[in-house]
Amino acid sequence: MNDLPRNQHIIASGIVASVGIWVTYISYTQEPAAAFLFPRMISTVFAVLALWTFGKALMGRSKVGAGLSIAAIKNITPGLFITLIYVFWAAKALGFYTASTLTFFILLSIYDPNSHFKTRSWVKRIIITGGFLAVMYGLFAVLLKVYTPREIFF
């Protein structure tokens, strides 16, 4: 039973490493190549760090802790579900900025500990989401000039 936290770490880091390798592969096989320069750099760094973490887990050198509890899994599940919808459907169907904004607002609303019955907390969430959109647009469209999926709104 002592190996449960270690096994959870190996499995989790193995999944993350697999996703990292998959995303890196996808970024290197897409065209036009110039549009994927930034995703290639980020995905390569992500894959290297994920493989490093996986290797440390396999060798038993990770500081693991107690593993995931059922309560932690219940807390993570809604965010994971929303993120999967974003990645596999919303970003392409609604456009990068619209989908990112909606996803951020939904996740903020789910995980924000402030009351959901007060108007002030909703106004605060809307302002934070607007700031998030401004930073995302400024970073990707203006500063980095990165190609983003475009559809309905922008």
What is the model's pTM?
0.66
Same domain flag for 52 and 89: no
Same domain flag for 81 and 138: yes
Same domain flag for 83 and 109: yes
Same domain flag for 13 and 2: yes
Same domain flag for 86 and 145: yes
Q: What is the pLDDT along the chain (154 residues), one digit of tens a residue?
A: 456 667 778 888 899 999 999 989 988 988 877 777 878 899 999 999 999 999 998 888 776 666 667 888 899 999 999 999 998 888 888 888 889 999 999 999 999 999 999 999 999 999 999 999 999 888 877 887 776 666 555 5
Length, in residues, of the chain: 154
Residue range of the domain that includes 3: 1-67
Residue that is last in its domain, among 20, 37, 67: 67
Same domain flag for 81 and 152: yes
Q: For the chain, how many structural domains are there in total?
A: 2
SS (H, E, C) 19-81: HHHHHHHHHHHCCCHHHHHHHHHHHHHHHHHHHHHHHHHHHCCCCCCCCCCHHHHHHHHHHHH
